[in-house]
Structure 1
Amino acid sequence: MSESENNKLAVLIDADNAQAAICQKLLAEISKFGIASVKRAYGDWTTPNLKGWKQHLHKHAIQPVQQFSYTQGKNSTDSSLIIDAMDLLHEGRLDGFCLVSSDSDFTRLANRIRESGLYVYGFGEKKTPEPFVAACDKFVHTEVLRKTDSHKIKDESKNPKLKEIVIDAVNAVARDDGWSSLSAVGSYITKNTPSFDSRNYGYDKLGKLVRTLSYLEFQERSFNEQASNVHIYVRERSA
């Protein structure tokens, strides 16, 4: 199955574990991956801690799913979300799932959905455990959805992990001449590091980020006279 903006997605929100303030930007982000055919938010709506979500439910046509907390300390919301996800999976009408939570309890669910050949997009805070992040095809840290003024990287030496991710990708998809298309680099990074997002480094596009990295050199190549068809190629800068 190919990734498409027309893919039908189920958006399942763990309201006990996600912030209502990001709802609008969250749905805008999800629209990049497909159409939100199913939108449900799970939690105990009789409790005051979910009050902030209620205005967003009506505004964005999100179906609230009531789940009482029968036992203190036990998260019954997770079980309800997982059961619904499996029901939707077996109906066979969807192309992917968006799981909105910072809870590692959804790791096995994400793996199971991907085993069935569907996409899994995860959305959670940076505290989200790595197993859940790795189980998704793409994981978006919700902190980037709350930023109003991006903080751009100033000292590359403080980002050794970024250099490792980028250089590995550039070398992995390099052609015989040593150059790699930026689109291939981006695809490789997404497949191997689901949580990578150029916005975490203050840039809304990968192309803008690579231009700031001193260990890379880049070229713009045009295959016809239309400027819209300019392609970016990068390679590791010689020492």
Structure 2
Amino acid sequence: MTEKLPIQQEQVSFAILIDGDNVAADKLGDIISFVSSYGNPIIRRIYADWTKSAMKRWKEEAKTFSFRLVEALSYVGMKNTTDMALVIDAMDLLHGKTVQGFCIVSSDSDYTLLAQRIREEGLLVLGYGEQKTPASLQNSCHEFRFSDKADPVQPNNNTPDYFIDRDRALFDKAFETARKGDDTVTLSLIGGELKKLMPKYKIKRYGCKTLGQLYVRLGKYELVKVGDKAVGSAIRIKQ
């Protein structure tokens, strides 16, 4: 769903609030890329019962993308503790006027009223979840992205090629942000933008020794020389 957005995107600061029970951990890169196309995700939180062994993969991915893990213990006889913790934080952020936009990551219709309440304040609401997400939640967001369409790569593959394919959109985003209209961009500027998107990213995870090698592996970039510096200090899209 797409409609006229209430705020100019370059001005928007975002809170990404993830229901850890409703999305796979390997989607974090795509979520960051999605939200970054609308603004700056300054607040990043994942809500779950972190005592569960099933959440181990989440913890690993959260470090890469600098998400805070918010505990929502499943007490005996209580349901929807994750939902309640997320909604409470969302309302605190809303009333504190901390951000100008929210991304609610869930396929659960229980968040419909939250999305509607945020919209009533004139803030931008993004949604991210599976195609089975009820229309009530989808239609309460200015834009809703389907998680099961976003990444065709198999989720439990830990090879360098897997991570490159998974994070490709983020590398492209870092290049486009750093270039500011220029054809050639230094790798130091790109590295700075990547740190904002993925504060804990490690080059070796992608099977490379340098950032330049990584961008060459993406297939659409080439190394170039800038001034008196050696070839490899900057990149551009292949001519």
| Pairwise TM-score range, normalised by the shorter structure | 0.5 to 0.7
Is 1:83 paired with 2:85?
A: no
- Cα separation, 2, equivalents of 1:40 and 1:140: 18
8 Å contact kept, 2:108–2:133 = yes
1:107-146 aligned at under 5 Å gives the runs 107-146=112-151
1:1-239 aligned at under 5 Å gives the runs 1-72=6-77, 74-147=79-152
Q: CA RMSD in A?
A: 1.6
Aligned partner of residue 17 in structure 1, secondary structure: coil
- Size of the alignment, in residue pairs? 149
Q: CA deviation at 1:72?
A: 5.0
8 Å contact kept, 2:48–2:82 = yes
Q: CA deviation at 1:105?
A: 0.6
Q: What is residue 182 of structure 1 aligned with on the other side? A: none
Q: Gaps spanning 5+ residues in structure 2: where? A: 1-5, 154-239
Q: CA deviation at 1:27?
A: 0.7
- Cα separation, 1, equivalents of 2:35 and 2:63: 18
Q: Gaps spanning 5+ residues in structure 1: where? A: 149-239
- Cα separation, 1, equivalents of 2:56 and 2:77: 20
- Cα separation, 2, equivalents of 1:96 and 1:119: 4
**Residue-by-residue CA offset, 1:81-120 (whole Å, 9 max, x unaligned):** 0000000000112111000000111000000000000010
Over alpha carbons, which structure has the higher Rg?
A: 1
Aligned partner of residue 39 in structure 1, secondary structure: strand
Q: Which amino acid aligns with 2:97?
A: G
**Residue-by-residue CA offset, 1:129-166 (whole Å, 9 max, x unaligned):** 11111111110011122125xxxxxxxxxxxxxxxxxx
Aligned partner of residue 93 in structure 1, secondary structure: coil
Q: CA deviation at 1:71?
A: 3.0
Give the percent of matched residue pairs that are identical in Structure 1 and Structure 2.
41
Aligned partner of residue 15 in structure 2, secondary structure: strand
- TM-score when normalising by structure 2: 0.60
- Cα separation, 2, equivalents of 1:71 and 1:29: 36
8 Å contact kept, 1:5–1:32 = no
Q: What is residue 187 of structure 2 aligned with on the other side? A: none
8 Å contact kept, 1:16–1:50 = no
